[in-house]
Amino acid sequence: MDRRATFWFLYFPPLLWLGAFFLIPLLLMVAYSFRADMHGSFFQLWQPSLAQYEKLIATGSYWRLLGVSSLMAMVISVTAVILSYPIAYFLAFYGRERAGFYLVLLLVPFWTSYLLRVMAWKIMLGTEGVINSFLIYTHVIQQPLTALLYNRNAVILTLIYVWIPFVTLPILAALQRIDISLFEAAADLGARPIHQFLRITLPLSLPGVFAAFFMVFIPTVGEYVTPLLVGGSRGSMYGNIIQDFFTKAANWPFGSAMSMVMLLGTLIMVGLATRLINLRDFLE
């Protein structure tokens, strides 16, 4: 009996909190995206309208930007996974008693402020930045390179840097789960090291690789802070346009429709991810 009473005590606070500050805001956004304009109070009934979606579908540049953002996220996550795989491999099989220390050493940059690490790249890549002044100092170049900062490449570089430590974790988890006796069996049967890797290690670590890919890809498509800091106007992503419609342009219904597209895209990706891999394996 008191178990039931406890249930209600545990149930209501989180339900009300998440309902009020997570579910309802998202539903509000859905409602807003079906408004024709921003006139009138929210509580007055309005005629649902597909105007925003029609405008969005008709405007090619938004779709292109969504495509570019997805492509950037793809490049970032694939590169991060490829760069991280050898690290995970090293930690899994060669770390030995020092593996824990090596792992912490890798994760420390990830645990420091995200904004600061992005800032650091701004200081590195700027016209008066570290890389330029170093190259001028060593007489490699005479004029500062302006092409380093404020473009898509700067965003891609910075985000790969930001994600690498994090990407290593699911790959490491997958590698550590491989039964070591498989290697012995393969060696006994005469498999050469490279074949052992290609036929055993790599296939068995693929769930971790896919998990790592999605764990980077999904948040990166929705990224707006890094482009804001190091991307400039030439490095904008889809998220920056949403931001603009809620701040500068103050067209909330259209911004809501754009957010809906992003939200649906994200949910589809998550659905895809959960079909490919068992996410539970990677939730430590």
Partner 1 sequence: MTTFRNSFPLKSYYFGLIALLYLPIAVLFLFSINSNTFLSFPLQGLTLNWYEKLFASDALLRSARNSLVVALGSSLAATLLGTMVSLLMMRYQFRSKGLLVAMAVLPLIVPYIVLAVALLLLFSVLKIDRSLLTVGVAHTVVALPYVLLIVASRLAGFDINIEDAAMDLGANYPTTLRRIVIPMIAPAMVSAWLTAFTVSFDEFALALFLAGTQPTFPVYLYGQLRFASRLPIMIALAVLMMIGTLTLVLIAERVRRVK
Planar angle of CA 233, 238, 240, nearest 5 degrees: 50
Nearest to 214 by CA among 169, 173, 167: 167
Which residue has 């570089």 as its token pair? Answer: 157
Residue with smaller CB distance to partner 1, 218 or 277: 218
**Phi, psi dihedrals of residue 250, rounded to the nearest 5°:** 50, 45
Query: Which one among 154, 242, 257, 277 touches partner 1, defined by CB under 8 A?
Result: 242
Closest approach, Cβ 227 to partner 1, in A, equals 11
Please give the size of the binding site for partner 1, defined by CB under 8 A: 90
78 exposed, middle or buried (CB, 10 Å; 0-12, 13-18, 19+)? middle
CA distance 132 to 21: 46
b/e per residue 235-254 (b: at least 16 CB within 10 A): bbbbbbbbbbbeeeeebbbb
Interaction residues for partner 1, span 18-57 (CB under 8 A): 18-19, 21-26, 28-29, 32, 42-43
CA distance 47 to 69: 33
**By the rule CB under 8 A, 210 interacts with partner 1:** no
Q: Which stretch binds partner 1 (CB under 8 A): 52-60, 148-156, 203-211, 238-246?
A: 238-246
Site string for partner 1, 190-209 (x = CB under 8 A): ---x--xx---x--------
Interaction residues for partner 1, span 245-284 (CB under 8 A): 246, 252, 255-256, 259, 262-263, 266-267, 270, 283-284
CA distance 18 to 10: 13
Interaction residues for partner 1, span 138-167 (CB under 8 A): 161, 164-165
**By the rule CB under 8 A, 17 interacts with partner 1:** yes
Closest approach, Cβ 200 to partner 1, in A, equals 8
Residue with smaller CB distance to partner 1, 36 or 130: 130
Query: Which one among 39, 60, 61, 128 touches partner 1, defined by CB under 8 A?
Result: 128
CA distance 135 to 245: 40
User: How far is residue 2 from each of residues 12, 13, 16, measured CA to CA in Å?
Assistant: 16, 18, 22
Distant-in-sequence contacts of 182-189, Cβ < 8 A, 24+ apart: none
**By the rule CB under 8 A, 232 interacts with partner 1:** no
Q: Which stretch binds partner 1 (CB under 8 A): 53-61, 73-81, 117-125, 148-156?
A: 117-125
Interaction residues for partner 1, span 52-111 (CB under 8 A): 83, 86-87, 89-91, 93-94, 102, 104-106, 108-109, 111
Q: Which stretch binds partner 1 (CB under 8 A): 73-81, 116-124, 146-154, 203-211?
A: 116-124
Alpha carbon distance, N-terminus to C-terminus of the chain: 34
